[in-house]
């Protein structure tokens, strides 16, 4: 729950001098998107772990580089269609932020007739977001550090854990400024949009844009979201996935109950991390550090993903999927109905230690007939992939990085409530594990006895 408490940042890795990127730009900006609850993270964590379950609600503010609007006259007039019945003729010119530093939006200062790269990353704890810039198209060129076939969009969906690079051209009227707007997707918005200003030099940054901010697509317009995701392909010449897999793991995402507590589970097992880090446990063969039974590779073929679980009861576990080193692994993420009827949520899944190829998306329950839909020609290489409500997402990766790696929903409350699994591969190839990684649980006792 550390991101909910504000512990996050971005690292920008530049290409080496000998490399050339496949696009040109004159300048760049980094946009770090996040959500902010005004209550302490402790309140949120206690509610998630309570019986009965207590939900803290939606975040109060969306932040762009740590700056947002809340309870401000400016933000009050910028409403999404779901959160306001006012017409599109809202008098945006009445909105003021002068003199109120906390309401002042982030400013991106640009020169006319130039091309700028926006490096956009989402560290949200909950919210899926949509980003748009008034009167400006964006050309998407990179995702999660991998180049894409460029494509142009009016707006961009971005989920927690994802990053994109987009190019914009400052070819609009330089006597005006333009809104950059970030709004909530996938959940009924109760949070006002996050706003920044694209400021054309030499126009004053304090001059508010004449036009209203771009309107975020309806929160449940999943067709819009899927259309965006299906435009993403690897740049020609990028590495291609192996043509076949050696192991396939199908992971069913469900909401369940354990002793009355609300949890998320994968194949009916809710992840409960042990006190001893897996890396030391596996490396040194500690017997009782975690569940030695391998977690389920699949789920009951008769399970109805379109309805609430017939039996909502689940179990917790700390087992590990042990992957043979340098083998090709397919993961099928299968979404399902939650505990309440007609509810299935978006889940962005993030893999540590690897990139994976996103082979495709589909509706309903994955089956053999969906094999022909998988893209083995030019799938994008990512480290985070979304699974849409009542749908599936197919991934492929090579288990070639020795270690123990989390694979989990990047929504913080969901991981806290058990939505994740653990992969381990090639741990015997690791020679020197840092002492700092061995100071907890059983390895901590072993480390202390060795040093006494």
User: What span, in angstroms and rounded, lies between the C-alpha atoms of 347 and 351?
Assistant: 13
The pLDDT, as a whole number, for residue 208 is 93
Q: Is 183 helix (H, G, I), strand (E, B) or coil?
A: strand
Stated pTM of the model: 0.92
The pLDDT, as a whole number, for residue 89 is 29
Rounded-to-10 torsion of CA 150, 156, 159, 165: 40
Contact 165, 117 (CB under 8 A): yes
| Beta strands 269-271 and 315-317, pairing class | parallel
Buried (b) or exposed (e) across 71-96, using 16+ Cβ within 10 A?
ebebbebbbbeebeeeeeeeebeebe
The pLDDT, as a whole number, for residue 29 is 97
**Which run of H or E residues covers position 245?**
none
Got the DSSP string for 9-66?
Answer: -----PPPTT---SS--SEEEEEEEEEE-SS-HHHHHHHHTSSS-----S-SEEEETT
The pLDDT, as a whole number, for residue 230 is 95
The pLDDT, as a whole number, for residue 92 is 36
Contact 122, 159 (CB under 8 A): yes
Q: Which two tokens stand for residue 380?
A: 């994008």
Mean pLDDT by 10 residues, the chain (452 residues): 88 88 96 94 91 92 92 54 37 43 86 98 96 98 97 98 98 97 94 95 94 95 97 96 98 97 97 94 92 95 96 97 98 97 97 98 96 96 98 98 98 96 96 86 77 62
């Amino acid at each position: 729950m550390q991101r909910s408490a504000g512990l996050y940042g971005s690292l920008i890795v530049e290409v080496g001098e000998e490399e050339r990127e496949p696009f040109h730009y004159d300048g760049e900006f980094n946009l770090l998107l996040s959500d902010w609850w005004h209550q302490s993270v402790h309140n949120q964590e206690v509610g998630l772990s309570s019986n009965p379950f207590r939900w803290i609600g939606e975040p109060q503010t969306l932040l762009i580089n740590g700056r947002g609007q809340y309870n401000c006259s400016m933000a009050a007039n910028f409403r999404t269609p779901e959160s306001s019945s006012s017409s599109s003729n809202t008098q945006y010119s009445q909105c003021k932020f002068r003199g109120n530093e906390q309401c002042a939006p982030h400013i991106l200062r640009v020169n006319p007739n130039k091309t700028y790269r926006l490096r956009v990353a989402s560290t949200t704890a909950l919210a899926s977001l949509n980003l748009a810039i008034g009167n400006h198209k964006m050309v998407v060129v990179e995702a999660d550090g991998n180049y894409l076939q460029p494509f142009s969009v009016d707006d961009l969906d971005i989920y927690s854990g994802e990053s994109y690079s987009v190019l914009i051209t400052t070819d609009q009227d330089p006597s005006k400024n333009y809104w950059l707007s970030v709004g909530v997707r996938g959940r009924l918005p109760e949070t006002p949009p996050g706003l920044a200003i694209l400021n054309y030099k030499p126009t004053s940054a304090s001059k508010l844009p004449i036009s209203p901010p771009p309107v975020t697509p309806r929160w449940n317009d999943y067709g819009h979201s899927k259309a965006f995701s299906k435009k993403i392909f690897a740049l020609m010449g990028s590495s291609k996935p192996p043509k076949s897999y050696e192991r396939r793991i199908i992971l069913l995402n469900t909401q369940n109950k354990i002793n009355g507590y609300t949890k998320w589970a994968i194949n009916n097992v809710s992840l409960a991390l042990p006190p001893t880090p897996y890396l030391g446990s596996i490396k040194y063969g500690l017997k009782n550090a975690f569940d030695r039974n391998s977690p389920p590779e699949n789920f009951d073929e008769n399970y109805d993903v379109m309805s609430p679980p017939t039996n909502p009861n689940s179990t917790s576990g700390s087992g590990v999927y042990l992957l043979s080193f340098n083998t090709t692994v397919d993961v099928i993420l299968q979404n399902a109905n939650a505990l309440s009827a007609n509810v299935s949520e978006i889940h962005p899944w993030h893999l540590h230690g690897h990139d994976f190829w996103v082979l495709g998306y589909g509706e309903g329950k994955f089956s053999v007939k969906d094999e022909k839909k998988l893209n083995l020609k030019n799938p994008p290489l990512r480290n985070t992939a979304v699974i849409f409500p009542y749908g599936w997402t197919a991934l492929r990766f090579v288990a070639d990085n020795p270690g123990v790696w989390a694979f989990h929903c990047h929504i913080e409350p969901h991981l806290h409530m058990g939505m994740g699994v653990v992969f381990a591969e090639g741990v015997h190839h690791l020679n020197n594990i840092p002492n700092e990684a061995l100071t907890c649980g059983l390895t901590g006792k072993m480390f202390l006895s060795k040093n006494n």
